[in-house]
Structure 1
Amino acid sequence: MPNGTDALRSMRVEADEFHRLHPNITVELRMLDWAAALTMISTAAGGGDAPDVTQLGTTWVGNLSKSGVLQPYTEAEIASFGGRAAFVPASWTSTKPVGSDTVNAVPWFVDVRALFYRTDVLRRLGLEPEKAFADWDSLERTLAAIKRDGKITPLGQPGKNDWNVVHNVTPFIWGAGGDLLAADGATPTLSTPEAFTGIDYYQRLMGNYNKRELMTKDTDAAMAAFAAGETAVLMQGPDAVSGFRADPNRAGLRAGWSTAPLPAGPRGRYTFLGGSDLAIFARSAHRAAALEWVRFLTGAESQERYAVRNAGIWPARLETVRATALDTDPIYRAFAEAQKSGRQYPALAAWGDIEAALTRDISTLWESVQATGAPMAEPELRALLRRADEDVRVAVRQAS
């Protein structure tokens, strides 16, 4: 899929290098658009026309595992990649279905989030970043101070038309001790007191401090607003770093910017950990060659060249983080810290429908905030979350 900039060219570099090391194996690449990829992969697998190896979004593994089209990795094969300890610990959650120890995919790269902020704005207000973004209370005080200053919109998060609608709010649910589902992977928990606390905190930030026009926009628009100097704080992934550094002369970037881990909630610090895994199809006629290709792509050299240097995304392999100094670069250091508190969604067959339902419901929240210019009142928010729980129940029931 189109990961980072010029993704096909970057993957061709990997295929050529792999062929140099394995001249008896040729990799044929096919690029799929993100929006259509899961449908195309599922259709190909069901019709017996699946590729040998595929990239999978972390939330897709549960659905494809249920259909039995993926070839499990053995413990010996996982060990040959360096073992589980070689990768970001939380990245293994998505590789096996809930309640199973069968690993049907291996981590390739991860999507981890951090705060981007204007250094000149904090300096003008006499705020130290380590304290300004330490926890929920300090983040809200910082945004309030920026609002009182009146020179720039404090927050610049995307709204209902973003592809990260659920991902943006989930870290706050986790930070309050809540979750989207109970441990059984079937019982919705959006209307619990903990989940309500997390969602209410985030929607109050959006209602009180966010740039109103962004409530109907996506991540690209939010990044553009930050770069243009319209907003002071943004929550985004590491790909934004390479994008900002590629064009540093935009007004907001020229003024000075940096990053910090997401603030800690009352029950801990969490960040959403997404990304992609690599899977081999059960009907692959080239199992040994496919395994070599996966081993190559998850290896340290390919991870550095493809993920870090070319695509500007975060490698799943911990060794690569250290080798490329991502954990010491002042801008990337926040992501290295954030990955330690990363958390993934469970690998469920129903996850696609669950996320679609939650996206619709949370989008209703952002429509209300955009229309009124204020957070949704508590009774209405509680009613919305009860409806979200019912929508999740329906999605789980239909997938069972």
Structure 2
Amino acid sequence: MHRFIPHHLGQITRACGDNTFQPVVTARLVCLVQNCSVTAKKERSLSIDFVTPLFDPRANELLANVLQEFDKKNGRKTNLINYEWGQIWRELVNVTIYRTGGDLAEIGSSWLESLVSMNGLRPFSSQEICEFGGKEVFFQSLWENLTIGSEPIIRGLPFQADVRVMYYWDDMLETAGVEPKETFISAANLAAGLEKLQQHYDSPLILPTGTDTHNILYNAASWLRGAGGEFLSADNRQTAFCEPQALAGLRAYFGLHKFLPPQNTPITDAEVLDIFTRRKAAVTIAGPWLLNHLKNNVESKELISHLKAALPPGPSFVGGTVLVVWQHARDISAILTLIKTLFEPELQYQLGELDGFLPVQKRFWTEEYMSRNPNLPVLRQAILTGKGLPVVPLWGMIEDRLNGAFGAAWNDIHSAQAPLTPQDLDAILNDRLVSMARRLDITLAE
């Protein structure tokens, strides 16, 4: 069994007393009290675990109110518990191993395989899935995130969706004579468009290069797959990210370094939000939380009207959160009723507004909903045409190592003493990826 340290889905910041910003992540958890053993000394009971890309206490308050109404209607007592990010994986593991505590949890979609490998999650029956509308009500890309390898058993339900798309300020592109419809259709066209933008803006692009989140991996996936590459072979027994097509995509992705602000330290997610919000860069790649961030931090409606979204030059990364039930949960009927409550459309809309996620069910994407932001149709298309990361045994370990290798490659780029040539970039990628791929191939073949 490998130990996979989960990662958050976006950058969360909170204003501090010294006017700086610090990363803050909390997980929202709720447990059916009859199965809990929460004490003042140690809170080990978990049920619904919410990880929010943009932390907002109003989301906790909203969920608490919904749970209170659920209690009144169903004669139950639910308990909402907050855990900071540094605690959450230990608590999830404790619940899974010791089979006590929480009943229902919302987890990051890429955590599913790790918890399944511990044999801690209860499968949803075909009848139960039908009661939620069947798999057809969910977007296919999100449902595929639930299927581990060739196993048909479903141990989670998509709850909130996360995707990566390109964002740009259309007036800045217009000033540089860059046509968006042509620019974002391929990696080569994007590089050409950024070169034109660089004639007007020193650093036209901003994207994260640090390992404080796994966004550097999620972002790179579009370039890797857009070039025809994949992370694993078709039988999942070998790595594929060092195959020629995959390396060509990664070379194009890391080649974007020449359009980034010059600095010798990694660019954090918080810096990306700040630089793009202040229009110090014309283009970025981010998740749906960027829409919420700009809505809350840019007062000018005219300025916001210049924000546009486009699909990246390859399938968008599709992730998000998943509802799971632990094996030791007892009051399954009440838990399923609670899940149905959490799928109420208005709650989905309100949580998305606060958390920076998107609805997972097709029926929620009404014309009225998509009219709330002119960029939502692009994000919907990203879910329809995008793809999650592999959901196979050991993927958690592979993802962790890949993200670290990508971060190390970015560090090499930032610390370069002279402008990098294409040969220099190839050497960096070979150094960081090839030997790691060989070691992983041995593990996968066992």
Give the Cα separation in 2 of the matches to 1:347 and 1:261: 23
Kindly provide the amino acid, as one letter, of the partner of residue 384 in structure 2: K
The residue aligned with 1:223 is: 273
Deviations 1:112-137 (A, max 9, x none): 11111112211112333222222222
The residue aligned with 1:321 is: 365
Deviation at 1:237, TM superposition (A): 0.6
- Kept in 2, the 8 Å contact 1:112–1:274? The answer is yes
The residue aligned with 1:241 is: 291
Give the Cα separation in 2 of the matches to 1:320 and 1:349: 32
Instruction: Return the TM-score normalized by structure 2.
Output: 0.81
Q: What SS is found at the alignment partner of 2:94?
A: helix
Counterparts in 2 of 1:279 and 1:71: CA distance versus 1, 3 Å: same
Say yes or no: does 1:306 pair with 2:306.
no
Give the Cα separation in 1 of the matches to 2:78 and 2:333: 13
Deviations 1:123-179 (A, max 9, x none): 112333222222222211110001122x34111011123301211211211111111
1:63 to 87, 110, 114: 114
- Kept in 2, the 8 Å contact 1:214–1:221? The answer is no
Say yes or no: does 1:27 pair with 2:78.
yes
Counterparts in 2 of 1:255 and 1:51: CA distance versus 1, 3 Å: closer
Give the Cα separation in 2 of the matches to 1:346 and 1:107: 16
Q: What SS is found at the alignment partner of 2:263?
A: helix
The residue aligned with 1:194 is: 245
Where do 1:326-345 residues align within 5 Å? 326=370, 329-345=373-389
339-348 or 111-120, which moves further after superposition? 339-348
How many residue pairs match? The answer is 389
Where do 1:11-90 residues align within 5 Å? 11-20=63-72, 22-90=73-141
- Kept in 2, the 8 Å contact 1:226–1:252? The answer is no
More helix by share: 1
- Kept in 2, the 8 Å contact 1:120–1:255? The answer is no
- Kept in 2, the 8 Å contact 1:180–1:188? The answer is yes
Counterparts in 2 of 1:346 and 1:363: CA distance versus 1, 3 Å: same
Q: What SS is found at the alignment partner of 2:91?
A: helix
Instruction: Return the TM-score normalized by structure 1.
Output: 0.90
Q: What SS is found at the alignment partner of 1:100?
A: coil
Say yes or no: does 1:297 pair with 2:342.
yes
- Kept in 1, the 8 Å contact 2:204–2:282? The answer is yes
1:347 to 386, 391, 403: 391
The residue aligned with 1:10 is: 62
221-230 or 344-353, which moves further after superposition? 344-353
Kindly provide the amino acid, as one letter, of the partner of residue 204 in structure 2: P
Give the Cα separation in 1 of the matches to 2:302 and 2:253: 24
The residue aligned with 2:20 is: none
Give the Cα separation in 2 of the matches to 1:331 and 1:107: 22
Give the Cα separation in 2 of the matches to 1:152 and 1:365: 23
Kindly provide the amino acid, as one letter, of the partner of residue 342 in structure 1: G
Gaps of 5+ in 1: 264-268
1:114 to 153, 160, 165: 165
Q: What SS is found at the alignment partner of 2:369?
A: coil
Q: What SS is found at the alignment partner of 1:60?
A: helix
Deviation at 1:329, TM superposition (A): 3.3
Give the Cα separation in 2 of the matches to 1:129 and 1:261: 11
Give the Cα separation in 1 of the matches to 2:335 and 2:279: 47
Q: What SS is found at the alignment partner of 2:238?
A: coil
Say yes or no: does 1:381 pair with 2:429.
yes
Say yes or no: does 1:155 pair with 2:208.
no
- Kept in 2, the 8 Å contact 1:228–1:252? The answer is no
Deviation at 1:255, TM superposition (A): 9.0
Q: What SS is found at the alignment partner of 2:209?
A: coil
- Kept in 1, the 8 Å contact 2:121–2:155? The answer is yes
1:357 to 389, 395, 401: 401
Q: What SS is found at the alignment partner of 1:344?
A: coil
Q: What SS is found at the alignment partner of 2:204?
A: strand
- Kept in 2, the 8 Å contact 1:10–1:311? The answer is no
The residue aligned with 1:167 is: 218
Give the Cα separation in 2 of the matches to 1:175 and 1:10: 39
Deviation at 1:94, TM superposition (A): 2.3
Deviation at 1:396, TM superposition (A): 4.5
Give the Cα separation in 2 of the matches to 1:262 and 1:213: 25
Q: Which has the higher contact order (CA 8 A, sep 6+)?
A: 1
Counterparts in 2 of 1:35 and 1:350: CA distance versus 1, 3 Å: farther
Counterparts in 2 of 1:324 and 1:229: CA distance versus 1, 3 Å: same
Percent identity over paired residues: 21
The residue aligned with 1:266 is: none
- Kept in 2, the 8 Å contact 1:60–1:352? The answer is yes
- Kept in 2, the 8 Å contact 1:14–1:306? The answer is no
Kindly provide the amino acid, as one letter, of the partner of residue 274 in structure 1: G
- Kept in 1, the 8 Å contact 2:122–2:326? The answer is yes
Deviations 1:231-259 (A, max 9, x none): 11110011110110112148995693222
1:133 to 173, 177, 184: 184
Counterparts in 2 of 1:250 and 1:226: CA distance versus 1, 3 Å: farther
Counterparts in 2 of 1:254 and 1:312: CA distance versus 1, 3 Å: closer
